[in-house]
Amino acid sequence: MLLVAFAVAPLLAGTAFGQDAAPEPGPVDEYLELVEASGGAELAPAFDFFTVSMLWTVIAAAMVFIMHLGFATLEAGLTQSKNTVNILFKNVWIISIGLLTYALLGFNTHYPVDSWQIPGWLGINGPIGDLGGGENDTWAYGGLSLAMTAYGDFIFQAMFAATAATIVSGAVAERVKIGSFMIYSTILVAFGYTIAGSWHWGGGWLSQLGGGEAGFYDFAGSTVVHGFGGAAALACVLILGPRKGKYTKDGIKPILGHSMPLAAVGVFLLFFGWFGFNGGSVLSANPGPLGLVFTTTALAAAAGGIASIFISMIVLKKPDLSMALNGLLAGLVSITAGADSVTPMESVIMGAVGGVIVVFSILFFDKIKIDDPVGAISVHGVCGIWGTLAVAFFGGASFMSQLIGVVAVYAFAFIFSFAVFFVIKLVMGVRVSEEEEAEGLDVAEHGAPAYNLN
Amino acid sequence: MLLVAFAVAPLLAGTAFGQDAAPEPGPVDEYLELVEASGGAELAPAFDFFTVSMLWTVIAAAMVFIMHLGFATLEAGLTQSKNTVNILFKNVWIISIGLLTYALLGFNTHYPVDSWQIPGWLGINGPIGDLGGGENDTWAYGGLSLAMTAYGDFIFQAMFAATAATIVSGAVAERVKIGSFMIYSTILVAFGYTIAGSWHWGGGWLSQLGGGEAGFYDFAGSTVVHGFGGAAALACVLILGPRKGKYTKDGIKPILGHSMPLAAVGVFLLFFGWFGFNGGSVLSANPGPLGLVFTTTALAAAAGGIASIFISMIVLKKPDLSMALNGLLAGLVSITAGADSVTPMESVIMGAVGGVIVVFSILFFDKIKIDDPVGAISVHGVCGIWGTLAVAFFGGASFMSQLIGVVAVYAFAFIFSFAVFFVIKLVMGVRVSEEEEAEGLDVAEHGAPAYNLN
Amino acid sequence: MLLVAFAVAPLLAGTAFGQDAAPEPGPVDEYLELVEASGGAELAPAFDFFTVSMLWTVIAAAMVFIMHLGFATLEAGLTQSKNTVNILFKNVWIISIGLLTYALLGFNTHYPVDSWQIPGWLGINGPIGDLGGGENDTWAYGGLSLAMTAYGDFIFQAMFAATAATIVSGAVAERVKIGSFMIYSTILVAFGYTIAGSWHWGGGWLSQLGGGEAGFYDFAGSTVVHGFGGAAALACVLILGPRKGKYTKDGIKPILGHSMPLAAVGVFLLFFGWFGFNGGSVLSANPGPLGLVFTTTALAAAAGGIASIFISMIVLKKPDLSMALNGLLAGLVSITAGADSVTPMESVIMGAVGGVIVVFSILFFDKIKIDDPVGAISVHGVCGIWGTLAVAFFGGASFMSQLIGVVAVYAFAFIFSFAVFFVIKLVMGVRVSEEEEAEGLDVAEHGAPAYNLN
């Protein structure tokens, strides 16, 4: 009955609420104007869905933003207290320069649309300009597959952009020159990440594999964000060399992190932000995929944590906290490529395998004397490969396309990063002096220690 | 069919706005397909409301997740630095195993629906399986009283599940064996919490009191989450005994927490997450209750904080920070059962009474030599009783039903926890040796300290 | 016309889906009841838009809440460890008393509506009472320009209210008496902030400048929140005097902050919360402005950070972390007045200018021996002026109105704060003794240190 009432009501509304006279101006009129402004009658039925989708986009952007605090505290916690100011400074730099360069050229390079210079491969373009008004603010901008305004699209992607450079920050910690890192990270985030990203998310050649039928699939960026960062980090670490005193004649001398609470804060914040990272990658508030993505993301992280805990108990003979924390992150990276296309139990397997891989990978890199203070290459690089390939095993993607995508992005990231960092090394050096390394970068480079107990 | 109905509107609109030609296929068609997929024409009018409700559910789940970081930092801050790795590790364990066991059996045990083994009392069931597709992804899943997809329901409840075990973690800190705690917490979160919860939220006997007319009322879990955790904690603490050196012949020797900033970070994060805990328990984005719940939650916390501050100034002769922090939490626990059913001024009273209770309760437990390093039994257990009964005083619930609910859940939690922990004690012990306790659990159990200043 | 189109669709729907038989009761009926309860048929088309807008309001309120943790950790990090408990305590106090007084009189004083005692200037009124039910819970409450329930309006504004007092907290740190500050901050948040705020957001005289045509424009509060706090802080600092040992015969002796990680956590949390502060000030989920505001907010912060980094490298000859952090905040304060009315590139300029200003301002206040341990006067007060005037340069506001608004609010805040703090000084003193200052406020005032390493 109510349904009838409701159906009739608006019609009657004309009559019942006095539409003999023109309607009083009120909230509904304001609303209808808004709907009409938002693409006109054509788009009206979808206006509210669009509104909630756009809201989710900006909230997800804020959640991805807080991942940068997660990276900052995780990296700081896992390194020595004498290099803490340096790490925090690098993270302030990266989020700031990442957002700015993404506005200046990154967004239009990442998504060249019709302005490729080399179609499918390269489209370096200019600033965003004014993205508001007209279709940019409406449902017409991206339809259901990108249910956000152009500004929503920009800010969500901008928050992603800085992530790749942040991953490198952890791997080069405790010995990189701050000026050199500032230049390197700017080039990486402005050009490296955006070019590689355009191959996949920008509609470039990776998305067109198999005539588009068997395109490379990387839902939220196991490869194009995390793998990219991990491979870029590896190149830098090879050029930089290990920290003094880490690998001695008498074997590996662990350099312990200075604050496990900071590290734990970092991992929990990253886990929290990952709900925005993966969840926001649904690109709308579509309830079906949204619920699935939150569930697979959480379960993969949990499985990664549990797996790392048990493996560390077996291999290291103790329940190791830093392995447990890396296990959570390993699970998260492992599900990022396929969060929308696997079942909960598959996500548990994907995360658990990631949690096993990360422990052995960290031990392996240490064995071959590649010194990565926070395990970034293992967490983001190695688990990124697993996560991306796993979409072929579980999520129905083409294995060949996944493999091509991994090889292409990792190779590009490694070579781009190596070339840029090597040139910077030739021009101005990339590593602080032995005295500065011993003193710590905080005082040597920034003139102030992180802690002053009194 | 719906497509037709909807399609007409834009067409008519087309006339109104002068669209002589038929509309081009575009975002609206995608949207209409989505609406139709989501339960068909029947549910169409509600689709956007459902979408925003589901979005709120997953955001609230993320906010409840971050409470686990709050617990981790609060517990770490209020205990000694030599046990910090242990506390952080326990919290990584609990959130991970909590999510996993909730997928494996918790969800279907918490909400047995039609698969009770003992109707209204016990329904231990299996894994979640694939919860997506069909009615599970639509409004039809739970109507207005549970306006979320099945995955949304799962992930929100999964985040709650681990909370009970986390409460215990704080109370047993600084002396519990890590292996024993891992086993205990797994059993508690997998079976204890879910069985007790099924009595109320699962449609069990507590919800049917008075023929369902006077059912036990516990909006977001003062009793079934916080009280459960507090009562379970009490049982463990009785078995464990106090920390060495706490209660001496010369009286109580306070063991100070090692970092008040960590503790404060924890409480503020818990306060923040509580907006998801209580707000998400509206189970939709219904604007009326949502605004009320946010308001009563915030005001009760504030009143609890202020009350604890003044009481501590009178009783302890100083403005005590840890009492102020516990006061905020006391206010939050005190409003959790009735956040949706009292006025703002009533919420102030409920929170303030909680803030008074918590100070005296903490002093009382210390006096009777029940050693709870973080005050968890007082904050969650004692204030949980007050909060639940207060719904009878202010929110119109039946006092008898509230009392029965409290007694039943607290008794079950205490007995279940006591039995499990006691068996573990017999089999493998629950307490570290005196040497290990003196050395600290970080080095003794985990092989690494939390802090390395250099 | 669109209204007609909408009206017809449900009616056709009735036919198209064979409503020969009466519909089964189900979720849709519940939904329609809800819609009808929410203002009736009149408001039906806008119900879902209202729901998502209200959801955004409460989420934004939670994000502004977390800014209080940001302030607490930033202030603690930038001061000495012996005063950390004191700072944390002050922040617990402020958020608690801020919320309570806002319920008791703040809300109705901030928005006197029809109960001005001196129209446009002063309207001190009583408690909020029951704000739920009827039009208070519907779209009718504030239309499109305030698309939230009355409770949503209350809780969002309540979170803002405490901010002004928090800004003062940082400036008076390390020497203020806790009891005096508790009284002062209560009066400031209950009366000072709400009265000044009523001039602008409450529909008072500032909003009516130029007959309302050229009203003072301050989108989210560069002046009425941040400037207010900064000016109030200046008054207190002048009365208090500098910390012992800061300004000596031999020049300025910097007193270093004790934990840069805490400070960085604070700034990142403030940045995160600012998305709620500015984004929530859209006062609905309107996708167009929401995307713009998130974008300008983020870009201004980034530009502020980068500008401060480069200026500090030039002026201080090193990449200074605390300047970088203050630069982010400076950018955020600088965009707060105009976040909805400038382009992205204009927001970059506004933020960058803020980032330059803040460095010189901090150096300037130190030179004239105004001791502000955390730079609050510069960040909030000085950048608040710039941000407000910049809306005239970039956003089309009247320069004269902006200037009048700044002068009026800053003068009122300064005089009100000075008067209150001075009276408290006469009655009970505002500064601890030299011995207490040397010992640290934690032990002297609160009886417990913040850190206990063992």
Cβ within 8 Å of residue A368, ≥6 positions away: none
Residue linked to tokens 């599900």: A335
Say what the pLDDT of residue A10 is.
34
Instruction: Collect all residues of chain B within an 8 Å Cβ-Cβ radius of residue A275.
Output: 58, 61-62, 65
CA distance C164 to C67: 12
- The share of chain A scoring above pLDDT 70, in percent, equals 93
- Joined together, the tokens standing for residue A80 give 């020595």
Q: DSSP state, C121?
A: T
Over residues C154-162, the mean pLDDT reads 95
Asked whether residue C22 carries a pLDDT value surpassing 70, the answer given is: no
Asked whether residue B167 carries a pLDDT value surpassing 80, the answer given is: yes
CA distance C46 to B148: 21
CA distances from A167 to A3, A90, A376 (A): 55, 11, 6
Preferred mutation among C49, C80, C141, C260 to probe A, highest tally of A CBs within 10 A: C260
Asked whether residue A14 carries a pLDDT value surpassing 80, the answer given is: no
Over residues C313-320, the mean pLDDT reads 95
User: pLDDT tens, A279-305?
Assistant: 999 999 999 999 999 999 999 999 999
Q: Map C321-359 to HEC letters.
A: HHHHHHHHHHHHHHHHCCCCCCCHHHHHHHHHHHHHHHH
Phi then psi dihedrals of residue B398, to 5 deg: -80, 125
Q: How far is B245 from chain C (nearest CA, A)?
A: 15
Nearest CB to C5 within list B13, B275, B303: B13
Preferred mutation among C2, C12, C28 to probe B, highest tally of B CBs within 10 A: C28
Residue linked to tokens 């849709």: C28
CB-CB under 8 Å, A17 with C81: no
Over residues B268-282, the mean pLDDT reads 98
DSSP 3-state of B248: strand
Say what the pLDDT of residue C17 is.
33
- Joined together, the tokens standing for residue A273 give 């932000």
- For the stretch C123-152, what's the b/e string if a residue is b when 16 or more beta carbons lie within 10 angstroms of its beta carbon? bbbeebeebbeeebbbbbbbbbebbbbbbb
Preferred mutation among A260, A296, A347, A350 to probe B, highest tally of B CBs within 10 A: A260
Over residues C397-403, the mean pLDDT reads 95
CA distance B276 to B339: 12
Say what the pLDDT of residue C18 is.
34
- For the stretch A380-409, what's the b/e string if a residue is b when 16 or more beta carbons lie within 10 angstroms of its beta carbon? bbbbbbbbbbbbbbbbebbeebbebbbebb
List helix spans (H) across B241-320.
260-280, 287-315
Asked whether residue C1 carries a pLDDT value surpassing 60, the answer given is: no
CB-CB under 8 Å, A26 with C42: yes
User: pLDDT tens, A247-278?
Assistant: 999 999 999 999 999 999 999 999 999 999 99
DSSP 3-state of C318: coil
List helix spans (H) across C244-283.
260-280
Preferred mutation among A96, A259, A268, A452 to probe C, highest tally of C CBs within 10 A: A96
Cβ within 8 Å of residue C238, ≥6 positions away: C370, C418
CB-CB under 8 Å, A319 with B89: yes
Would you say the ipTM is above 0.85? yes
User: Among candidates A281, A299, A183, which has minimal Cα distance to A225?
Assistant: A281
Q: How many CB atoms lie within 10 A of CB B177?
A: 24
User: pLDDT tens, C30-60?
Assistant: 788 888 877 666 667 788 899 999 999 999 9
CB-CB under 8 Å, A294 with B152: yes
Instruction: Report the amino acid identity of residue B370.
Output: I
Q: How far is C124 from chain B (nearest CA, A)?
A: 19
Over residues A190-209, the mean pLDDT reads 94
DSSP code string of B37-95: HTT-GGGGGGHHHHHHHHHHHHHHHHHHHHHHHHHHHHHHHTS-GGGHHHHHHHHHHHH
CA distances from C189 to A386, C95, C203, C416 (A): 54, 10, 19, 11
Q: Of the ranges A18-22, B92-96, B257-261, C303-307, which one carries the lowest mean pLDDT score?
A: A18-22
Mean model confidence pLDDT for chain A: 91
Asked whether residue B142 carries a pLDDT value surpassing 90, the answer given is: no
Preferred mutation among B74, B294, B318 to probe C, highest tally of C CBs within 10 A: B294
CB-CB under 8 Å, B139 with C54: no
Q: How far is B406 from chain A (nearest CA, A)?
A: 31
Over residues C190-215, the mean pLDDT reads 91
Phi then psi dihedrals of residue B118, to 5 deg: -120, 100
CA distance B200 to B166: 21
CB-CB under 8 Å, A287 with B149: yes
Q: How many CB atoms lie within 10 A of CB B370?
A: 18
Asked whether residue C169 carries a pLDDT value surpassing 90, the answer given is: yes
Say what the pLDDT of residue B41 is.
66
Nearest CB to A309 within list B73, B93, B159: B93
Q: Of the ranges A15-19, B320-324, C193-197, which one carries the lowest mean pLDDT score?
A: A15-19
Say what the pLDDT of residue C42 is.
67
Q: How far is C341 from chain A (nearest CA, A)?
A: 11
**Cβ pairs B/C, distance under 8 A:** 253
User: pLDDT tens, B386-440?
Assistant: 999 999 999 889 999 999 999 999 999 999 999 999 999 999 999 999 999 999 9
Say what the pLDDT of residue A12 is.
29
CB-CB under 8 Å, A454 with C299: no
Q: Of the ranges B249-253, C300-304, C371-375, which one carries the lowest mean pLDDT score?
A: B249-253
CA distance B382 to A414: 57
Say what the pLDDT of residue A138 is.
84
Nearest CB to B155 within list A258, A291, A324: A291
CB-CB under 8 Å, B76 with A305: no
Nearest CB to A73 within list C7, C10, C261: C261
Preferred mutation among B58, B321, B442 to probe C, highest tally of C CBs within 10 A: B321
Highest mean pLDDT among A126-135, C63-72, C201-210: C63-72
User: Among candidates A176, A89, A70, A215, which has minimal Cα distance to A431?
Assistant: A176
User: Among candidates B289, B298, B340, which has minimal Cα distance to C137?
Assistant: B289
CB-CB under 8 Å, B34 with A286: yes
Q: How far is B397 from chain A (nearest CA, A)?
A: 30
CB-CB under 8 Å, C275 with A6: no
Q: How far is A202 from chain C (nearest CA, A)?
A: 20
Q: How far is A417 from chain C (nearest CA, A)?
A: 23
CB-CB under 8 Å, C63 with A448: no
Instruction: Collect all residues of chain A within an 8 Å Cβ-Cβ radius of residue C11.
Output: 7-8, 11
Question: CA of A50: which chain C residue's CA is closest?
Answer: C287
Asked whether residue B19 carries a pLDDT value surpassing 70, the answer given is: no
CA distances from B102 to B94, B244, B412, C276 (A): 11, 36, 20, 32
- Joined together, the tokens standing for residue A124 give 């370096």
**Do residues C391 and C205 make contact, with C-beta atoms less than 8 angstroms apart?**
no
CB-CB under 8 Å, B446 with A344: no
Asked whether residue A26 carries a pLDDT value surpassing 80, the answer given is: no
Q: pLDDT-based confidence at A42, cuts 50/70/90? A: low
DSSP 3-state of C395: coil
CB-CB under 8 Å, C32 with A2: yes
Nearest CB to A324 within list B92, B179, B447: B92
CB-CB under 8 Å, B256 with C148: no
- Joined together, the tokens standing for residue B215 give 């059912």
List helix spans (H) across A145-227.
150-171, 178-187, 193-200
**Do residues A209 and A130 make contact, with C-beta atoms less than 8 angstroms apart?**
no
**Do residues A231 and A413 make contact, with C-beta atoms less than 8 angstroms apart?**
yes
CB-CB under 8 Å, A41 with B27: no
Say what the pLDDT of residue C20 is.
42
* Long-range pairs, A434-441, Cβ under 8 A, ≥24: A434/A244, A437/A174, A437/A175, A437/A243, A437/A244, A438/A244, A439/A82, A440/A80, A440/A81, A440/A82, A440/A83, A441/A82, A441/A83, A441/A85, A441/A86, A441/A174, A441/A175, A441/A178
CB-CB under 8 Å, B13 with C92: no
Burial class (CB in 10 A: 0-12, 13-18, 19+), C369: exposed
Phi then psi dihedrals of residue C253, to 5 deg: -105, 105
Say what the pLDDT of residue B32 is.
81
DSSP 3-state of A310: helix
Instruction: Collect all residues of chain B within an 8 Å Cβ-Cβ radius of residue A290.
Output: 54-55, 58, 149, 152
- Joined together, the tokens standing for residue C32 give 């329609």
Q: pLDDT-based confidence at C453, cuts 50/70/90? A: confident
Question: CA of B137: which chain A residue's CA is closest?
Answer: A288
Cβ within 8 Å of residue C22, ≥6 positions away: A1
CA distance A54 to A61: 11
Asked whether residue C87 carries a pLDDT value surpassing 60, the answer given is: yes
- For the stretch B322-359, what's the b/e string if a residue is b when 16 or more beta carbons lie within 10 angstroms of its beta carbon? bbbbbbbbbbbbbbbbbbbbbbbbbbbbbbbbbbbbbb
Nearest CB to A52 within list B55, B130, B449: B55
User: pLDDT tens, B366-388?
Assistant: 999 999 999 999 999 999 999 99
- The share of chain B scoring above pLDDT 90, in percent, equals 81
CB-CB under 8 Å, B5 with C5: no
Mean model confidence pLDDT for chain B: 91
CB-CB under 8 Å, B5 with C17: yes
CB-CB under 8 Å, C305 with A92: yes
DSSP 3-state of A374: coil
Domains contained in chain A, CATH given: 44-446 (1.10.3430.10)
Say what the pLDDT of residue B163 is.
86
CB-CB under 8 Å, B34 with A275: no
**Do residues A169 and A181 make contact, with C-beta atoms less than 8 angstroms apart?**
yes
Say what the pLDDT of residue B16 is.
32
CA distances from B31 to A34, A139, C2, C15 (A): 19, 10, 19, 22
Nearest CB to C11 within list A11, A127, A148: A11
Q: How far is C80 from chain A (nearest CA, A)?
A: 7
CA distance A279 to B58: 9
Asked whether residue C2 carries a pLDDT value surpassing 70, the answer given is: no
CB-CB under 8 Å, C290 with A152: yes
Q: Computed from CA positions of residues C41, C46, C49, C52, in that sequence, does the dihedral angle turn out positive or negative? A: negative
Q: How far is B253 from chain A (nearest CA, A)?
A: 25
Over residues B330-336, the mean pLDDT reads 98
Q: How far is B348 from chain A (nearest CA, A)?
A: 30
Question: CA of C4: which chain B residue's CA is closest?
Answer: B13
Over residues C379-405, the mean pLDDT reads 96
